[in-house]
């Protein structure tokens, strides 16, 4: 595929990446509930069934069957891309991911792999309620053998999907559905697949290091820009890949910023992946003072948008947290 620049929103970028891998990798299949003829509940897979025929198909409402068939097909040489419509629905099929997919390489002594991608979306949106608002990345990050990514921009959404399909391990790509219909941006397509992993320095500064991922990245950048206007510059590292996680870059940044670290995510703070990030930095011996962990408190997510907004970190709450952190200099 020749390299070119296209202008798309987040969902368009995912669609473009899927179109590319279906065209370039004959082993790929794309399936899930309402993925083919309806084009997905959010329209992300629209048009792919018409272009690729039987390789794009709808399934019954059975997450266990979707994931179990993906494990088997991947072990037999295919590279399935399957969709779990809501991340919350993952929970009825955990055996297929945690007991089966994650163990294929280990229990076969490396003779078999399970190269497949699970697309899903999570997080809160207005009226989504408790059963459609959970952020489950930490649950899967606790499971060796699974790769996990959570992009925030159309370019990363495109690049990560292409890289995930070429990875020989099972990969879960979490989208945040509030990003699907954002502003269109120019992205570069057709570049060779990049290795999985890595991070992106979104803002430079010496006052503190802020680590974030997913949709929360945008609120953190707003907070960082407002603090910069007041003369406080923080380094913002976005980690769209959570496994593998770019620990070395985070540690190096914390060393450069006086040992001050904040982690911001939409998931619950208790046992969230932010706690793991802080622990890794603490174990490296570069942490100074009290780190800041900013996320949702331990509460079920209410359906009322006003109540949900009170729980999810907004720009103001992030600024308050970072102001306290940097005041300790």
Q: Residue 50: which residues within 8 A CB-CB, separation 6 or more?
A: none
For helices 10-24 and 154-166, angle between their N-to-C axes, nearest 10 degrees: 30
Angle among Cα 74, 46, 30 to the nearest 5 degrees reads: 5
Whether the upstream peptide bond of residue 86 has omega within 30° of 0, thus cis, is no
How far from 20 is each of 1, 155, 167, 172, CA to CA, in Å? 8, 14, 15, 19
d(CA 259, CA 289): 7
d(CA 315, CA 321): 10
**Structure tokens of 219?**
């609120």
Q: Is 132 a catalytic residue?
A: yes
Residue in 132, 166, 218, 265 annotated catalytic? 132
| Residues annotated catalytic, as ranges | 132
């Amino acid at each position: 595929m020749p390299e070119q620049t296209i202008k798309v929103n987040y969902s368009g970028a995912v669609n473009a990446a899927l179109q590319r891998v279906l065209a370039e990798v004959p082993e790929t299949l794309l399936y899930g509930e309402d993925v083919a003829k309806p084009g997905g509940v959010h329209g992300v897979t629209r048009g792919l069934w018409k272009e690729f025929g039987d390789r794009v198909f709808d399934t019954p409402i059975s997450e266990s069957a979707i994931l179990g068939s993906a494990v088997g097909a991947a072990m037999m040489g295919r590279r399935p891309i399957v969709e779990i419509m809501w991340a919350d629905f993952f929970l009825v099929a955990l055996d297929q991911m945690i007991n089966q997919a994650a163990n294929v390489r280990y229990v076969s002594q490396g003779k078999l792999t399970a190269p497949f991608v699970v697309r899903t979306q999570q997080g809160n949106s207005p009226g989504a309620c408790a059963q459609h608002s959970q952020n489950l990345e930490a649950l899967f990050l606790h499971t060796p053998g699974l790769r996990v990514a959570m992009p925030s921009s159309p370019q990363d959404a495109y690049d990560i999907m292409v890289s995930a399909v070429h990875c020989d391990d099972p990969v879960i790509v979490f989208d945040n559905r509030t990003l699907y219909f954002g502003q269109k941006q120019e992205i570069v397509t057709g570049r060779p697949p990049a290795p999985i992993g890595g991070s992106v320095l979104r803002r430079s500064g010496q006052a503190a290091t802020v680590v974030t991922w997913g949709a929360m990245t945008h609120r953190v950048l707003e907070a960082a820009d407002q603090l910069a206007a007041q003369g406080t510059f923080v380094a913002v590292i976005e980690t769209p890949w959570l496994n593998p996680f770019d620990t070395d870059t985070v540690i190096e940044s914390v060393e450069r910023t006086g040992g001050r670290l904040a982690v911001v995510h939409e998931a619950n703070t208790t046992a969230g992946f932010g706690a793991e990030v802080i622990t890794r930095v603490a174990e490296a011996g570069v942490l100074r003072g009290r780190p800041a962990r900013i996320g949702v408190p331990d509460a079920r997510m209410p359906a009322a948008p006003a109540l949900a907004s009170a729980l999810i970190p907004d720009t103001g709450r992030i600024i308050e947290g970072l102001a306290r952190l940097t005041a300790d200099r």
